[in-house]
Amino acid sequence: MSLFRNPSDQPLWKDEFSVFTADERYVTRRQFTKFLSLASLGMFAGNLWILAKTFFVKTPEFPSTVVAELGEIPVGGVKLFTYPAPQDHCILVRTGDDEYVAYSQKCTHLSCAVYYSAQQGRLECPCHQGYFSIKDGSVLQGPPPRPLPRIVLERDAGKLVAKGVKVGEHG
Amino acid sequence: MALMVILLVVQIWLLSATLEGFLAGHHGVALPAAIFSGLLFAACVTIDAFVERVDRESRKD
């Protein structure tokens, strides 16, 4: 084979190897800017999707659900329940003799289940040490970006009834 | 091209901030964010067109 080869410094396999990987991997300026434009289009599409969701968002209708009876849990005690759907886990806390608060149990950071710390008087997320105020669910510390959604409670004939969910800033 | 990367980074930040606001219940941010994102996209496309034109002209030469 070497008798029919053109003189070359390169080994035989290099001369005969037909795939020029470096050339194939080379990205031209045009290709790169097109890729960036495509990525920009993707971001724009994402913003449009959020805008569309804003226009088509329906006011959710929340059911009335009995959560607990008054006096069922002791002061500083908690009760777990689901509202409005079975997959929406919530926590009810009795903070005083006649004071009850309830929040979604899903941490707004990465959806870990928060628990009530009676010693600290706050809701705590064990995953990344995010802490929420028991008064209004606002973020006290840690990575959670938003307050905990608050469950609207009403009293009805000695029972606590969940009537709705308040998302975002609390009054 | 560096300008395009910067614009893209701003756009990524804008998308994440808009999503955070939407999830927090602030629906008013969606429209201005979409408009600004559209402007950024238009700027990217303009730069892309400019680069293509420069490339084409340099190849002619």
Mean pLDDT of A51-63: 82
- Nearest CA-CA partner of A73 in A51, A55, A96, A90: A96
- By the 8 A CB rule, do A47 and B10 touch? no
Helices (DSSP H) in A29-127: which residue ranges?
Answer: 29-56
Complex prediction ipTM? 0.89
What are the residue ranges spanned by the domains of chain B? Answer: 2-60
Q: What are A133-148's pLDDT values in tens digits? A: 999 999 999 999 889 9
Which B-chain residues 22-61 have CB contacts (< 8 A) with chain A? 22-27, 30-31, 33-34, 37-38, 40-41, 44-45, 47-48, 51-52, 55
| Chain B residues in contact with A167 (beta carbon < 8 A) | 24-25
Instruction: Please state whether the peptide bond connecting residue A84 to the residue before it is cis, i.e. omega within 30 degrees of 0.
Output: yes
Domain ranges (residues) in chain A:
12-56, 65-166
Instruction: Respond yes or no on whether the N-terminal peptide bond of residue A147 is cis (omega within 30° of 0).
Output: no
Write out chain A residues lying below 8 Å of B30, CB-based: 47, 50-51, 53-54
Tokens standing for residue A62: 């929340």
Tell me which CATH homologous superfamily contains domain A65-166: Rieske [2Fe-2S] iron-sulphur domain (2.102.10.10)
Q: What is the pTM of this model?
A: 0.63
Instruction: State the nearest Cα–Cα gap between B49 and chain A, in angstroms.
Output: 9
Higher pLDDT, B35 or A6: B35
